[in-house]
Amino acid sequence: MDLSELRKEYATHGLDRHELLDCPLAQFKAWFQQAKEAGLNEPNAMVLSTVDDSGAPTSRTVLLKAADERGFSFFTNYHSRKGGHMEREPRIALVFPWFSLERQVHITGSVVKTSEEESLAYFARRPYGSQLGALASDQSQFIPDRQHLETRLAELKAQYPEGKVPKPANWGGYRVIPDHFEFWQGRLNRLHDRFLYNKKDGNWQISRLAP
């Protein structure tokens, strides 16, 4: 497959230093709002990268569920592959791939687990089917076939009526505490705009990077 002619010029927006908000969280929220208003499919989908014991990286998509002064949170199975990685190495990277706006946001930071109360509160707000799904799936483990999941789901459905599904003990949230943000805006001739927020002595410093 030769994709060497598959390319696109980025010409819809620019990003100037004077447009950037001092606080990267505020800047992220402003861009997130624009992504929502533009009708992007799943604007809260973010690519999470973790590393294993040997330093080998793995990436996968998860859904951002909250972003505030405390960090960026998402929910998953603590016994999953990513959960094992983050147990040993809490430093991670996130990418929001907002391609139809010709934008991406990169974040690096460290994860902590959210409190059990927060995990319980979010689990309680999930749809019944998603609650059962979390209980039915030993995420990232080998399974024989699809039927294994369907049988488990049916058993759990019979066992727990709506509103009574217990949160699995190994299911909960992580909060990413960012130490760097990069806002990237595609421009003509591959001369994109990139701005890095870097925390120094408790303050965010902003620098422009070459594309």
- Interface with ligand FMN (CB under 6 A): 42, 45, 58, 60-63, 74-76, 80-82, 139-140
**CB nearer to ligand FMN: pick between 42 and 162:** 42
CB 111 within 8 A of CB 174: yes
Q: Tell me if residue 60 is catalytic.
A: no
Output the smallest distance, CB 65 to ligand FMN, in A. Answer: 7
| Residue from 37, 118, 117 nearest 71 by CA | 118
The C-alpha atoms of residue 112 and residue 176 are separated, in whole angstroms, by 7
**CB nearer to ligand FMN: pick between 89 and 206:** 89
Output the smallest distance, CB 192 to ligand FMN, in A. Answer: 25
Output the smallest distance, CB 48 to ligand FMN, in A. Answer: 8
The C-alpha atoms of residue 27 and residue 206 are separated, in whole angstroms, by 12
**CB nearer to ligand FMN: pick between 58 and 151:** 58
Report residue 185: phi and psi, to 5°: -125, 125
The C-alpha atoms of residue 139 and residue 143 are separated, in whole angstroms, by 10
Which of 91, 190, 194, 208 does the annotation list as catalytic? Answer: 190
Residues marked active site are found at: 190
